[in-house]
Amino acid sequence: MRVLLVSGTFPPMRCGVGAYTAALAKALARIEGLNVGVLTSEEANPHPECGVEVLTLKCDWGWRDLPRLLRAVRDWLPDLVHVQYPTQAYGNKSAPWILPAVLRMARIPTVQTWHEFMPRPPWLRMVIALAASRVIVVRPNYESRQPLWFLKMLGGTRLDYIPNASPIDLPELGDQERLRVRARYAPLDKKLVVYFGFIYPHKGVEQMFEIADPGRDQLIIAGHIDPSTNSYHRELAALAGSPVWRGASTLAGFLADQEAWALLASADAVVFPFRDGMGPWNTSVAGVRALGTFVIVTSKERRGYEPETNTYFSVPNDITGMRAALREHAGRRIPVARGKLSEQWRQIAEAHHTIYRNLLGAWSST
């Protein structure tokens, strides 16, 4: 079976969906009888990776690129195409959302994965719903968050929930190597406290400067930041440069994967103070947990410290509670979950393989 994944981003491009696509492709390629390719943007790494053929295309994902996308798909001769939504590269461009309809007319079976709730304009949501043959979602209770008209347009199309997992290759860090990484970021007499990810207002990143203590903690904000063009980023830069935080905080910017995960593996705490809470679909949180590092997340459902995952669940925007949890639990570690993560990806790949087989079986009978 030849399966072509379509994703606007792919490592080393900055995008969680791109990282997920890379991990999924590698896991699928381990299944006997599966040939896996990825069609992505030209900024991605074009070299084969773990049995995966990476096809890069120079395009901006606008509607004018549809003929080139279709040609690239046909040239690879897939049995099935699997499109990932959304990615950073798609932006507001229409081609990715129209592509499943074009592939359906070309008699090419298509699977879609929706990593987010669909915020698109109604007409694009109609197109993607009408073109759907099989849909995979990574968030539980997805249907309950969709308007009734959208669910009706899906008709009999199934929404298959497949939980995701951290896409990282866990770094091999001993205690001495962890100390060396810490020394690059923080004095040894301070706790190393990290925020990692994209930097938007709804992520609550500015709360890090209230949760952490400049007298006890060294705060690292690891994520792309551009104060020259972004007012929220300017706010964070002003906080980092304020008298109380000067020298006790660093805006580290975007870090390459190896350095980012070494930092997270060496941190005393990683905090995700999202204003609207988080769910189990967040791969960054899953990655930090797999590393054994203490993590604070916000949640609308769960509360308190969970020892088996070394996670503290906080009410969103509860600065006092998160500050107290940081004081109590920072520095705690649990064993790295290397084997567990590998098994999770094996199960994810097998679940996808089952969907692919079922779709191709149904498609051949029509």
- List, in order, residues 6 or more apart from 21 with CB less than 8 Å away: 5, 7, 9, 10, 38, 40, 84
What is the rounded CA–CA span in Å between residue 329 and residue 342? Answer: 27
| C-alpha of 140 from chain center | 16
Phi, psi (5° rounding) for residue 195?
A: -110, 135
Confidence (pLDDT) at 366: 63
Confidence (pLDDT) at 113: 93
- List, in order, residues 6 or more apart from 45 with CB less than 8 Å away: 10, 11, 12, 54
185, 211 Cβ separation under 8 angstroms: no
| C-alpha of 48 from chain center | 22
What's 363's DSSP letter?
Answer: H
At 24-71, the pLDDT tens digits run 999 999 999 999 999 999 888 766 667 899 999 999 999 899 999 999
Confidence (pLDDT) at 119: 59
Asked if the peptide bond before residue 12 counts as cis, ω within 30 degrees of 0, the response is: yes
Confidence (pLDDT) at 45: 76
Q: Is the pTM of this model over 0.85?
A: no
For the sheet containing 134-137, what is the strand order?
52-57, 35-41, 2-6, 80-85, 110-114, 134-137, 159-161
Q: Which tokens in the block code for residue 222?
A: 């690891």
At 126-162, the pLDDT tens digits run 777 777 788 899 988 877 777 787 777 777 777 899 9
Q: Which tokens in the block code for residue 253?
A: 């910017």
Confidence (pLDDT) at 159: 84
Confidence (pLDDT) at 307: 96
Q: Which tokens in the block code for residue 312?
A: 């503290």
What is the rounded CA–CA span in Å between residue 262 and residue 112? Answer: 33
E strand or H helix at 288: helix 283-291
Confidence (pLDDT) at 49: 67
Domains in the chain (CATH in brackets) are: 2-166+342-364 (3.40.50.2000), 175-336 (3.40.50.2000)
Confidence (pLDDT) at 208: 98
Low-confidence ranges of the chain (pLDDT < 70): 46-49, 118-121, 169-170, 338, 364-366
What is the rounded CA–CA span in Å between residue 272 and residue 281? Answer: 14
| Mean pLDDT across the chain | 89
Q: Which tokens in the block code for residue 95?
A: 């081609």
- List, in order, residues 6 or more apart from 80 with CB less than 8 Å away: 1, 2, 3, 4, 108, 109, 110, 111, 356, 359, 360
Confidence (pLDDT) at 314: 97
What is the rounded CA–CA span in Å between residue 110 and residue 3? Answer: 10
Query: Cβ-count burial of 141 within 10 angstroms (0-12 exposed, 13-18 middle, 19+ buried)?
Result: exposed
